[in-house]
Chains A and B, each alone.
Chain A
Amino acid sequence: MNRSLSLIICTIGIALLAHSVLSALQHRSYLRLTNKSFEHIPYDIALESIVALLVSSWGIINLAPKLIPIKATHHLSKRSYESIDYRPDFIQFNNRARYLSDLLAEPCRTCR
């Protein structure tokens, strides 16, 4: 999923959560003004907060850094064999090309 879209979903979820918090506070103040005892929160506020939890969870899960396959073969299959087997410490320059260079038409520059 697109990252900006998941950010929007996350923001919508947090906004729903903030709205349910404000609604719950308003309900508490209403109860205090009318001298009623608090039994349970109204069901619409409870439903809204649970929907906010689900929406923001989905946004957060899509917002998280992308998962990478852990199999080593998945990454090594894209590299060429030369790049894996490149060992510059084992290159020898002291070889027979030094003596062959006299026979060649164009002398070897690296061996001289």
Chain B
Amino acid sequence: MINPEQTQPQAPTATIPEHIDAEFLAMNQKSMYFCQILIATVGGSVAGILGFSGIPGFIFYIFVHLVFCSLYNLKDKNLQQYFISPKTMWYDSISSGLMSLV
């Protein structure tokens, strides 16, 4: 006999996984690297004007990177829908750009 008070178990909501389009992700990364390279070029010329080299140049490189990241986050408020993990841009590209600095 069916108990009328017994309720059917509800299916868990939002079981559809998020699918990510790799092509558009690669296009977004390309756009970000475009910005990064051009800003690094301008920052390098500014460092040349100011006469930074050695340790102050390294500090200035980190400053330019922080300027790039903050302006990029300022332009697009929700980067979550354009990149998988937008917070990695704060520390991910420092190590790759360090090779060109040395």
Contact = CB atoms under 8 A, between A and B. Distances in A.
A7 interface: no
B49 A49 contact: yes
Nearest to B30: A65
Given A60-B35, A67-B76, A72-B19, A46 B50 contact: yes
B46 A50 contact: yes
Contact of A17 (B19, B31, B42, B68): B42
Contacts of A40: 51
B67 A68 contact: no
Interface in B1-36: 18-21, 24-25, 27-28, 30-32, 34-35
A53 B43 CA distance: 6
Contact of A53 (B24, B27, B64): B64
A58 B74 CA distance: 10
Interface string A16-47: 01001100100000000000000011000110
A72 B22 CA distance: 9
B67 A53 contact: yes
A70 B28 contact: yes
Nearest to A60: B38
Interface centre among A20, A49, A50, A64 (most CB of B within 10 A): A64
Contacts of A13: 42
B42 A71 contact: no
Contacts of B38: 60
Interface in B38-54: 38-39, 42-43, 45-46, 49-51
Among B18, B38, B39, B42, max chain A CB count under 10 A is at B42
